[in-house]
Amino acid sequence: MTTTLRPESPEAPAPGGGRTRRWQICANGRPVGALRTTATPRGDQTWGNISELEVREGLRRGRATVGALAAEEVLRGWGCSRVDADVPETATAARRLAEVLGYTERMRNMAKSLTVGVALPPGLVARPVDAAGYPAWLAEAKAGYLHDLCTSGLTEEQARAKSDADHAYLLPQGHATPGVALRQLYDADGGLLGSLWVALRQRDLPDGRPLAWVMTVEVAPDRRGRGHGRTLMLLAERECLAAGVRDLGLNVFSGNEVAVGLYTSLGYAVTNRVFGKPLC
């Protein structure tokens, strides 16, 4: 029995100048499942993504494996140097498949539905990042992201290209980019405790509700271990509620157990895991 991919829909542009297409997984020409491939430029590289992988119950017989391998070949043909696969938390079979195919977990997506905002501790104040403070904030945000990307398994070259491309795409107008909240947290003496970046409408949920996204939470190195990370997350939730958004998500790199513990204690639950590997 021959398993192949067949286009289900025309190729379409993807955010950031990329391309995407949904495919049928066919056995002897008969559709038995589907998946989507997406390629996105990251600096001088192109990254691939496999998502929406599904095979009908009772018709698996290794077809998901063949479909994923065929998707990798599509992405190689699109010039991708590595591939990520999005696996919903409930899809345990897909997680096992990713591991068998040589993927390693890079990050987790977590989310929470918000109800009531919590006041900041007495004496602490949040201020917007202004034009004067933006260059220093951006340099720090890029450095932290670069470190996390390298820790998750990327080479320094790959991480630097992704960091530069992501920040340029997501903050095209710097501190004045619409739809984002860039905040810094200070103590009563004016000492900087940390910073926060929230995209107030990263995307919509299936039912149409807006989903905000925590892009970065950074505590000043000399202020860590004192609960300021928790305060910054509470600030993120307040910013969302003030904007009329009641669902907040975030990425956390899988090796950052301290952050995973913090988000879990605040009521965030894993919704998706991202697995990746090089395509060289």
Answer whether residue 94 is part of any domain.
no
| Parent domain of 185 | 112-273
DSSP notation for 187-214: -TTS-EEEEEEEEEEEEE-TTS-EEEEE
Statement to judge: residues 68 and 125 lie in one domain: no
**DSSP letter at 120?**
P
Q: Which residues fall within 8 angstroms of residue 129, CB to CB, at 6 or more apart?
A: 137, 175, 182, 183, 184, 195
**DSSP letter at 105?**
E
Statement to judge: residues 161 and 55 lie in one domain: no
| 108 C-beta neighbours (distance < 10 Å), count | 22
Q: CA 92, 93, 96, 102 torsion: positive or negative?
A: negative
Residue type, 183: R
- Give the separation between CA 219 and CA 14, rounded to whole angstroms: 33
Statement to judge: residues 252 and 150 lie in one domain: yes
Answer whether residue 107 is part of any domain.
no
Answer whether residue 98 is part of any domain.
no
Answer whether residue 236 is part of any domain.
yes
Statement to judge: residues 259 and 125 lie in one domain: yes
- Give the separation between CA 104 and CA 50, rounded to whole angstroms: 14
Q: Find where tokens 């630097």 sit.
A: 160
Answer whether residue 244 is part of any domain.
yes
Give residue 61's pLDDT.
60
Answer whether residue 201 is part of any domain.
yes
Structure tokens at 182: 């860039």
* Domain end among 80, 95, 129: 80
Statement to judge: residues 75 and 141 lie in one domain: no
Answer whether residue 88 is part of any domain.
no
Statement to judge: residues 140 and 223 lie in one domain: yes
- Give the separation between CA 119 and CA 234, rounded to whole angstroms: 8
Tell me the pTM: 0.84
Give residue 3's pLDDT.
80
- Give the separation between CA 21 and CA 196, rounded to whole angstroms: 34
* Domain end among 57, 80, 103: 80
Statement to judge: residues 74 and 206 lie in one domain: no
- Give the separation between CA 237 and CA 214, rounded to whole angstroms: 9
Give residue 156's pLDDT.
87
Give residue 59's pLDDT.
47
Answer whether residue 8 is part of any domain.
yes
Statement to judge: residues 119 and 68 lie in one domain: no
Kindly list the averaged pLDDT for each block of 10 residues, start to end, along the chain of length 280.
Answer: 87 91 92 94 87 75 87 96 92 90 94 90 94 94 87 82 88 94 95 95 80 93 90 96 94 90 96 92
Residue type, 177: T
Say how many domains are in the chain: 2
Statement to judge: residues 250 and 119 lie in one domain: yes
Q: What is the CATH number of the domain that holds 159?
A: 3.40.630.30
* Domain end among 62, 80, 98: 80
Statement to judge: residues 58 and 159 lie in one domain: no
Give residue 56's pLDDT.
81
Statement to judge: residues 269 and 157 lie in one domain: yes
Statement to judge: residues 254 and 143 lie in one domain: yes
- Give the separation between CA 90 and CA 152, rounded to whole angstroms: 22
- Backbone torsions φ then ψ of 245, nearest 5 degrees: -110, 130
